[in-house]
Amino acid sequence: MINVKIKEASGRISSFEMSGHADFAEHGQDLVCAGASAVSFGAVNAIMELTGIEPGITQSESGYLKVDFPDGLDEKTDGQVQLLVRSMIVSLKTIEQDYEEYIKITFTA
């Protein structure tokens, strides 16, 4: 199962973490894993390209990704980051609705 943990406090998402594998299908055929990866990496790439910030990124080939968004951004830039990351969450929730036994999203403070 893919576990997505989103850290949110006071209405601001400060990080997200993805780990695990969906095991929906064989490696290379797993559309849940491919979808979740495309959505998360696309969002991170969009944040970097469109806002100019460099989030802290930790990843491994084992299916782990953690992205930390910097504190102290100006209001406009932080608003853009938040919009893009929330858009990612909407897409991940859509995947979760259809494949709930393969991906789980949780929020922590």
Residues annotated catalytic, as ranges: 21, 33
Could you give the angle at the alpha carbon of 108 between the alpha carbons of 39 and 40, nearest 5°? 10
Cβ atoms of residues 68 and 15 within 8 Å: yes
Residue 8: helix, strand or coil by DSSP? Answer: strand
